[in-house]
């Protein structure tokens, strides 16, 4: 009897210890430490340090659920609710917990992406899963933490259980308490667009700068004077770089961050649906991972693969056989600048598909997507070793596509009279060129899903294996937002459906990526940020491309569409006085610094033909990589990256600089000892400046080895690019000197 009492006492004491003890988790290298506790109210709380410096101060976790309707029936037989007196307390999924169990594990594996910045990615972490029980509601949740050498990921898991089955999220209350008034590189929080210029400021200054940071867009819904978007980059006064984002955003609403600027605490802020609800859940299920990347070296933020590692492995069995990186040109920039048009005619103010007879209309004479013009692009692509040609504005309906909340806006099948689909297919195939489809949905998502199978089959039938999709404007169903749960499910539905047809997807205006491309690598690119097109709409800030790799690209590659050589838009359209805020040399560098397996040479052929010596770098640069080394990095100032081309010993280097320019002292110790290389350096000239002399550049060729050193200067808004090719024949170095 005494033995039983003693054992019971021991068991009780063990449970009490688990319930009250701090749970600590260290990164594999020991630099990061996460501490989990329950506070006096039973609220899950965590904190994070890096090399004993505070990264996240004690921060609360949990969710608030939407109150159930007391009058709603519980089943088809209209059974009344039996727990009406508990509806208020059932909304609480944020305190009153006790620790039921704690489980730890480790992981160390290496996996190979279908395409990427390196051939192999190491996935090493220590894990802590805390099983929490809430006695007042008789339900359990799991908070799972994974601590990598470069940061922390955590998520909520909701096991299936009688007392937590279907539920609606009112708010997610995940906190990120900052240890100071950090410098932040931010864009306004918005449910419908990421296409904002970055602002650099202290956290305390966000409120005062928000109004001027919210610039006009085709669809936008800002929500708070201190709301910002992820991935959010910050720098502390004591030398830490911190990045907040999310991974594996699946069947959930996109997370923004809302700042309590008195206490410097960020809290998760989910995108609502048309009713204002922020997530409809059915157990078993889980939230996306919330990620905190941290280092005292900015280069390590760029090198982090946490976002990919927190996603599921590839689910496409034969992915490598048909998912291939793509270098393309497109019928696009002349329309973006206003020289050409997407629309076939100027006579129509209203179009009804299947009724409007375009043969009876007068062509406007500036419709860019015509057969003869597209053949020019095909010829140029074939002559210069490109893979594909994108054509926008090929299909009926562009005359009234925008701003009319039009449901049946495109059918994705019917070409304008001046665009011969079959002839284009034949001509492109004869030149070894693939055509890239364009599906602008005008945000009429219901219409797109109705047509999706036929549209994809049309692509297969006519030789298209990739599509650029767009979601410009306010979403239909009306009231939904671009980044809500419903739309996130649509974007993934389109990607999965595309995989059935062996089609690669490049979605514009979609939710910012969260590493899903690991699971579905046919999601070969996204825009989801302010890209090159805005250089024709007034210009991007000079430092824009020195920030994007720290923010938007943390979740996946961006179809940034670089390569503009004629930076004065009035040379394309006299009425457009925008200027691309970049030098030609930096435009070359972006093919390396703005990682993507999908790279566009965005300018028109005639502009490239004026600078074919510089264009050579675009022709040469690889799309897929064995290895990436981040040589220099400081957000808002400069980024210099070296990448080794897949399956070769050739390297490419790119540097992009902000308003202050940048001086690099490069060493090449990453090259293989004992080998010689021929390097071609494309750099800003001494008097180059993005505004006053953007087209001045120098090209220098010489010999390199792993002991070589090179000093290079990037101008204001400038940069440089270097191709480094292994010498395989001594004749290749004849007449060349060491650089």
Q: Which residues are catalytic?
A: 533
φ/ψ of residue 122, rounded to 5: -90, 135
Q: Do the Cβ atoms of 433 and 384 come closer than 8 Å?
A: no
Q: Phi first, then psi: what are they for 231, rounded to 5°?
A: -75, 130
Residue with tokens 């015509």: 370
3-state secondary structure of 430: helix
Half-sphere exposure of 266 (CA within 13 A, CB side): 32
> Is there a contact between 544 and 198 (Cβ–Cβ < 8 Å)?
yes
Query: Residue 164's closest CA among 92, 239, 73, 229?
Result: 92
Strand order in the sheet with 255-260: 23-26, 32-38, 44-50, 53-60, 175-178, 265-270, 255-260, 227-229
> Torsion over CA of 502, 504, 509 and 510, rounded to 10 degrees?
60
Beta pairing partners, 543: none
- For 159-275, list the strands marked E by DSSP: 166-172, 175-178, 183-186, 199-202, 227-229, 232-235, 241-247, 255-260, 265-270
**By three-state DSSP, how is residue 724 classified?**
strand
CA–CA gap between residue 195 and residue 534 (Å, rounded) = 9
Peptide bond into 593 cis (omega under 30): no
**Inter-axis angle of helices 485-500 and 445-461, to 10 degrees?**
10
What are the φ/ψ torsions at residue 134 (nearest 5 degrees)?
-110, 95
Alpha helices in 36-82 (DSSP H): none
> Residues near 15 by Cβ (< 8 Å), separated by ≥ 6?
none
Neighbours of 97 (CB within 10 A): 29
**Residues 389, 397: contact at Cβ < 8 Å?**
no
Instruction: Give CA–CA dist 507/84, Å, rounded.
Output: 45
CA–CA gap between residue 617 and residue 682 (Å, rounded)? 8
In order, the DSSP letters of 688-703 are: -BTTTBTT-EEEEEEE
Q: In angstroms, what is the C-alpha Rg of the chain? A: 27
Distances (CA, A) of 36 to 19, 59, 61, 277: 11, 10, 10, 29
- CA 305, CA 303: separation in Å to the nearest integer? 6
Extract the tokens encoding 193: 């667009």
> Counting runs of H as helices and runs of E as strands, what totals does the chain give?
14, 37
With beta carbons less than 8 A apart as the criterion, state whether 345 and 322 touch. Answer: no
Structure tokens at 257: 């961050």
């Amino acid at each position: 009897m005494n033995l039983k009492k003693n054992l019971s006492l021991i068991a009780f004491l063990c449970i009490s210890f688990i319930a009250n003890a701090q749970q600590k988790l260290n990164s594999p290298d020991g630099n990061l430490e996460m501490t989990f506790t329950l506070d006096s109210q039973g609220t899950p709380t965590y904190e994070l340090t890096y090399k004993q410096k505070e990264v996240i101060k004690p921060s609360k976790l949990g969710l608030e659920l939407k109150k159930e309707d007391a009058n709603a029936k519980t089943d088809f037989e209209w059974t009344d609710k039996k727990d009406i007196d508990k509806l208020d307390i059932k909304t609480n999924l944020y305190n009153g917990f006790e620790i039921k169990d704690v489980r730890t594990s480790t992981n160390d594996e290496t996996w190979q992406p279908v395409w990427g910045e390196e051939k192999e990615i190491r996935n090493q972490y220590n894990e802590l899963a805390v099983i929490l029980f809430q006695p007042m509601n008789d339900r359990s949740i799991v908070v799972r933490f994974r601590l990598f050498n470069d940061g922390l990921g955590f998520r909520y898991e909701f096991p299936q259980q009688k007392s937590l089955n279907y539920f609606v999220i009112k708010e997610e209350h995940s906190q990120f308490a900052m240890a100071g008034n950090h410098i932040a590189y931010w864009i306004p929080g918005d449910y419908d667009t990421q296409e904002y210029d970055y602002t650099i400021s202290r956290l305390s200054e966000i409120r005062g700068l928000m109004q001027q940071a919210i610039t006009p867009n085709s669809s936008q819904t800002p929500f708070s004077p201190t709301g910002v978007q992820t991935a959010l980059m910050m720098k502390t006064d004591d030398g830490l770089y911190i990045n907040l984002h999310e991974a594996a955003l699946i069947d959930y609403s996109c997370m923004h961050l809302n700042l309590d600027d008195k206490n410097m605490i960020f809290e998760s802020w989910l995108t609502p649906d048309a009713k204002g609800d922020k997530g409809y859940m059915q157990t078993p299920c889980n939230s996306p991972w919330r990620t905190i990347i941290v280092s005292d070296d900015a280069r390590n933020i760029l090198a982090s693969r946490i976002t990919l590692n927190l996603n599921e492995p590839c689910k496409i069995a034969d992915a490598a056989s048909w998912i291939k990186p793509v270098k393309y040109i497109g019928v696009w920039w002349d329309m973006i600048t206003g020289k050409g048009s997407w629309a076939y005619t100027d006579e129509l103010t209203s179009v009804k598909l299947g009724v409007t007879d375009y043969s009876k209309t007068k062509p406007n004479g500036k419709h860019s997507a015509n057969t003869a013009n597209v053949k020019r692009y095909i010829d140029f692509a074939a002559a210069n070793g490109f893979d594909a040609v994108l054509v926008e504005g090929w299909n009926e309906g562009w005359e009234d596509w925008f701003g009319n909340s039009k449901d049946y806006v495109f059918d994705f099948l019917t070409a304008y009279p001046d665009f011969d689909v079959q002839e284009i297919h034949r001509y492109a195939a004869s030149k070894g060129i693939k055509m890239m489809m364009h599906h602008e949905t005008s945000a009429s998502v219901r219409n797109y899903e109705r047509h999706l199978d036929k549209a994809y089959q049309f692509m297969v039938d006519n030789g298209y294996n990739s599509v650029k999709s767009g979601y410009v404007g306010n979403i239909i169903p009306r009231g939904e937002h671009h980044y809500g749960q419903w739309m996130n499910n649509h974007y993934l539905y389109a990607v999965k459906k595309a995989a059935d047809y062996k089609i690669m997807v490049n979605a514009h205006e979609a939710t910012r990526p969260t590493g899903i491309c690991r699971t579905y690598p046919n999601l070969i690119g996204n825009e989801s940020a302010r890209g090159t097109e805005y250089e024709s709409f007034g210009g991007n800030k000079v430092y824009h491309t020195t920030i994007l790799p720290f923010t938007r690209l943390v979740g996946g590659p961006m179809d940034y569409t670089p390569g503009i050589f004629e930076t004065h838009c009035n040379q394309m359209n006299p009425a457009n006085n925008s200027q691309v805020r970049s030098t030609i040399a930096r435009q070359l560098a972006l093919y390396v610094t703005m990682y993507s397996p999908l790279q566009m040479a965005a300018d028109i052929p005639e502009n490239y033909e004026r600078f074919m010596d510089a264009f050579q770098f675009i022709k040469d640069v690889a799309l897929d990589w064995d290895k990436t080394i981040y040589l220099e990095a400081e957000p808002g100032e400069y980024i210099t990256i070296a990448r080794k081309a897949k399956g070769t010993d050739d390297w490419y280097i790119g540097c992009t600089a902000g308003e202050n320019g940048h001086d690099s002292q490069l060493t090449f110790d990453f090259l293989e000892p004992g080998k010689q290389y021929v390097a071609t350096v494309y750099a800003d000239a001494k008097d180059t400046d993005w505004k006053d002399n953007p087209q001045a550049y120098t090209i220098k060729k010489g010999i390199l080895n792993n002991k070589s050193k090179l000093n290079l200067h990037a101008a204001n808004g400038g940069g440089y690019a270097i191709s480094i090719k292994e010498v395989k024949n001594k004749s290749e170095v004849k007449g060349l000197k060491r650089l």
